[in-house]
Structure 1
Amino acid sequence: MSASENTESRQHARIWLALLLAHLAALLALGAWVAQQLKPVNMQALHLDEGERLKCVSYAPFRLPGQTPFDPDLRISREQIVADLTELVRITECVRIYSVGQGLEQVPEIAGALGLKVLLGAWISSDLKLSKLDLDRAIDIANRHPATVATLIVGNEVLLRRERTAEQMRELIAYAQARTEVPITYADVWEFWVRNQSLASAVDRVTVHILPFWEDQPVAVENAVAHVAAVLDEVRQHFDKPVMIGETGWPSAGRQREASQPSRVNQARYIREFVRRAHDQGWDYNLIEAIDQPWKRRLEGTVGGHWGILDSTLTPKFPLAGAVAERESYTLPALATLAGAALCLLLAAAGGRARPATLRLATAAATGAVGALVAALHIEHARLAYRDVPEWSVLGLVALLAALVPLLLARWNASTPIPSAAAAWQTLRTRASARCSSNACALSLIRGVLLFAAAVAAVLLFADPRYRDFPTLLYLAPTLVFGVTGWTSVSRHAMEERLCASVLALASIARWLAEPANPQAIAWLLTCLVFALPFLRRPAREHQ
């Protein structure tokens, strides 16, 4: 072997070794994360007295695929409402509804037959005609079911949405007061009640929403119940009428907001601790919400659909006593890891004239294991997050391209640099196969597409972050491959790739600066920088 060949062989070995070490580190980190999710977390049990149930829970029946309150032609069947309330009567004394359209007008009759009370809502919006229609229906239902309807709630967060003024709400409340003997209230986030204290004279009690997760300064779950207590005390100082907590709860999935982390464990902890304190101190409350609402993901992202105590199949999401684990099984991640390692190992070992070096085989197995594990974790997230066919199609394509990277890497010859995406595309157009191996060209094109997609995602996450998840899992596996090969192999990058990389790096840094202590923001920042920085280094010479 000549000196140049020996040097090149050592360089290739360094590439495979760097890839192996990076993927082993990632595999250990991901394995530790999954193991942590499997660990049961001990927490305070919710010990209710004999026959005692939750005071009230928000109920919306739009839990099945395709059901949404935005469909004007949708009407929920009586059978579905009966099934839902029959399940809920086991855990609660009362349900809160927000409107009396689309079949919800049946709730008071069914609830009364089951022994449930109802907080009956009239939906008030900027549409004068529809608001008047819903209010008149609600008044009529309240008058027909006075033993069941505990309170008529005229409007929900109307001032927050800025669809009506406080004076307009006062007029609507007075209109209802003149037509029913049922107690009347208005519900809004606590800050808007404090800003509009004059509205209290129109209602029988003040109904405030206290949601630690959605506060302007998000609250960690360990401080959440204390925060609710402090807010409730502050609100009571402003009013001489009874105060009810109209909404409080915690999401089980979705984007972390600074210290507020959605999770099954945190949801269980918050519900248990809040309900116990509420019952001990005699708080009047309503939990949001009874059942997961997939349609709310359209408004609030992943987190919006996962506030339910029950999931959309009416299965309890956590027990009311005993330890709670975030994950109940390791089967899918474990099988995916083994399958990915085996597949890439076979691809690396098959088809070549010479037997691949042990280092290359080990690297192929490690990249396959990480790629498959990340894909499995991402599939779990996609089932919670993706809302419609376009999202499944576009993001599914990105996920598919990401999953192909370890497979192509298993067949890649490190002696063939990965060219720029523009050069690879030109090679394919001219069919100049001698200039670029098929695997190197494929890796290059996939890298270009994923870089562009990641840059777009980073810009969207920077510009409109409130309801967007951090897509770290979507890009993690290819980032490890291209981050290492970008630093260790000799290749050029086109101007377009440098531009996308610059956007990706800057947008991810800007997003992290807005919430520097958020672990999800940190993970996204690191993923973006590992992907982007190789494109921004000084160009190196290509192999001739």
Structure 2
Amino acid sequence: MWWWLATPINLARAPIDPNAKLQCISYAPFRNNQTSESPTPVPRDQIAEDLAQLAKITDCIRTYATDLGLDQIPELASKVGLKVIQGIWLDRDRQKNATQISTGIRLARQYPETITALVVGNEVLLHRTMTPSDLAALIRSVKAQVPVPVTYSDVWEYWLRYRELDDAVDFVTVHILPYWENVPVPAKSAAAHVDAVRKQVASAFPGKEILIGETGWPSEGRMRASALPSRTNQARVISEVLDLARRENFRVNLFEAYDELWKHEFEGTVGGSWGLFDSAQRTLKYPPGIPVSNYPLWKLQMSSGMALAILVFGTAWLTSSRKPSQPRLVSWFAVAISATTAGVLFGLAAQKMFYESYDAGSWLLWGALLVAATASPLFGANALMSGRAPPTFLELLGPKDYRTPSELAITHGLILIVTIVIGTETALGFMFDPREKDFPFAALTMAAVPFAAMAQLNRPKKGNRPMAEAIFAGVFLVAAIYAALSEGPDNWQSLWTCAAYILLAATLWRARV
């Protein structure tokens, strides 16, 4: 299975063609703990290092602001032969806007051979930080003071909605991001969508040059409908868009140069995964001449999963060898399902934890879930061979008379608690704030399958259904229904996660005390 999952793709045109540089690419210099909200300027040497690297693959970079040391970019870009589309960031703070504008004007006057255009405002209308009339007046004011063309950038729908900006700009800069469309576009149709939207905007602004100011695809993160972030999809979309731009002779700026991990906190995993270079090592994701795979470390992932599956079977055999009677055949079948599930999904779950963790809290959250998911089939194998039912919350947290004396059962119970608590946190997230939430389908399935098997095969015959388990079961069931309906039938990550929630709900509903 891993061989199939990791099968690389060969593209007609490499995302980075050694024989043809990119027209332009968005650049933000932030690394590690640096963010656009930080008060500390980005060091000059850091920017110079990035620009020297980018000069090898592109003729131009697009920036978005002039503060935090970004005003050094035009000077440093000129030294390595890069042109700059200089951004001026606008928000609700008038004083900061004035500083951004004055710096942008100064840079355009100082480096007219390097700065090819000024972008006055980025998605201001989308975020409703300024009225169209105020924005147009501001653009005209800047335009009168600089020797370079002036434009404004926004999502394409907002250009069609506010066509009065036409007279204020020298050319139209539109963002076309198929993944983020209100009706998400799958990767296979992304390039055609970009071209169709470009032509629609061009017909709405006759005589105006159209620059695609942002387009691209994320390499990691959650699905939106049928739009799947992945390495192969990112490489394919970029390759096809660039090939289309060359054939149709239109201008395009890719989004973006480097992954921006600091965006994970605000935009989820997908928000920080649009770069052609990774954030930490600054290495190219898709070197020329090397086929692109979604799982470049698939051999390690496969072997680690096989090792876990062997451990699960070993635990079951060791437990059964110490029992006076042989376990039922169906128990061995349940162990086989748990072991296979764990073996197949462990490498994927570990990869998701690595890419979806961005700070101490998220590392703790996803790390705890992965530990629970890894331990669950091991302890589950022991329980299935022993005929032991899943531990109840009352046995773990209730009055002393109800608590189990078994340390093995207590440890197994802690695994269940971790799974339920983290599962509930994610389930509530998909009901109340789902936009950037990642689907924990791999780790959650690893953890849920053994408990579901135990609940089915080793269920107590008598007793009352405990209230706590019933409440959690209800939460999982409601979340599964809501997420499945809201995300739609094309989002297999959502459907898979919902199936795991239903497994957990069924497990908890069968509990008896």
TM-score (norm 1): 0.86
Structure 2 match to 1:304: 271
1:104-503 equivalence runs, <5 A: 104-240=70-206, 241-312=208-279, 313-320=281-288, 323-350=291-318, 353-354=322-323, 357=326, 367-368=338-339, 370-371=341-342, 374-412=345-383, 414-426=386-398, 429-430=400-401, 433=404, 437-491=406-460, 493-503=465-475
Question: What SS is found at the alignment partner of 2:213?
Answer: strand
- Of 51, 66, 69 in structure 2, the residue corresponding to residue 103 of structure 1 is 69
1:133-171 CA-partner distances (Å, limit 9, x unpaired): 011001101100000000011010011111111111112
1:533 equivalenced with 2:512 (yes/no): no
Q: Which has the larger radius of gyration?
A: 1
Q: Does 1:60 align with 2:28?
A: yes
Q: Contact between 2:380 and 2:451, CA under 8 Å: does it hold in 1? A: no
Note the C-alpha offset of 1:344: 3.7
Check whether the contact 1:58–1:286 (CA below 8 A) recurs between aligned residues.
yes
Amino acid at match of 1:272: S
CA root-mean-square deviation: 2.5
Structure 2 residue matching 1:159: 3-state secondary structure: coil
1:188-209 residue CA offsets vs partner (Å, 9 max, x unmatched): 0011111111111011111110
Where 1:161 maps in the other structure, the secondary structure is coil
What is the alpha-carbon distance in structure 2 between the residues aligned to residue 272 and residue 125 of structure 1?
34
Question: Which of 157-166 and 346-355 deviates more?
Answer: 346-355
1:446 Cα deviation after fit = 3.1
Q: For the residues of structure 1 that align with 2:255 and 2:485, how far apart are their CA atoms?
A: 31
Point out the more displaced range, 123-132 or 406-415.
Answer: 406-415
- The superposition leaves residues 27-62 of structure 1 with CA deviations (integer Å, 9 ceiling, x where unpaired) of xxxxx2x33321122332249999631110000111
TM-score (norm 2): 0.91
The question of whether the paired residues in 2 share the 8 Å contact of 1:224 and 1:270 is answered with yes
Task: Determine helix, strand or coil for the equivalent of 2:151.
Answer: strand
Shift of 1:355: 7.3
Report the Cα distance in structure 2 between the residues aligned to 1:362 and 1:47, rounded to whole angstroms: 46
Q: Secondary structure at the match of 1:327?
A: coil
Deviation at 1:184, TM superposition (A): 0.4
| Structure with more relative contact order (C-alpha pairs < 8 Å, separation 6 or more) | 1
Go from structure 1 to structure 2 and tell me whether the alpha carbon gap of 1:364 and 1:355 turns closer, same or farther (over 3 Å shift). farther
Moved more, 189-198 or 482-491: 482-491
1:24 corresponds to: none
The count of corresponding residues between Structure 1 and Structure 2 is: 503
Contact 2:301 2:346 in 1 (8 A): no
Residue matched to 1:504: 476
CA distance in 2, matches of 1:48, 1:373: 33
* Contact 1:152/1:184 (8 A) holds in 2: yes
Which residue of 2 is the match for residue 91 of structure 1? 57
Checking the alignment, whether the CA contact within 8 Å between 2:232 and 2:292 is kept in structure 1 is: yes
The offset of 1:341, in angstroms, is: 3.3
Q: What runs of 5+ residues in structure 1 fail to find an aligned partner?
A: 1-31
Whether contact under 8 Å (2:77, 2:114) holds in the other structure is yes
1:190-232: CA deviation from partner (whole Å, max 9, x where unpaired): 1111111111101111111011111001111111111111111
| % identity of equivalent residues | 34
State the SS of the aligned residue for 2:503: helix
Cα distance 1:414–1:305, how it changes in 2: closer, same or farther (>3 A)? Answer: same
User: 5+ residue gaps in structure 2?
Assistant: none
Does the 8 Å CA contact 2:302/2:347 hold for their aligned counterparts? no
Inter-partner Cα distance in structure 2 for 1:370 and 1:347: 16
Rounded Cα–Cα distance in structure 2 between residues aligned with 1:177 and 1:354: 84
Contact 2:16–2:286 (Cα < 8 Å) also in 1: no
Q: How far apart are the structure 2 equivalents of 1:88 and 1:42?
A: 24
3-state SS of 1:227 partner: helix
Question: Does the aligned pair in 1 maintain the 2:21–2:59 contact within 8 Å?
Answer: yes
* CA distance in structure 2 between the aligned counterparts of 1:353 and 1:263, rounded to whole angstroms: 46
Q: Distance in 2 between matches of 1:66 and 1:50?
A: 32
Q: Does the 8 Å CA contact 1:213/1:257 hold for their aligned counterparts?
A: yes
C-alpha separation between the residues in 2 aligned to 1:281 and 1:356?
Answer: 74
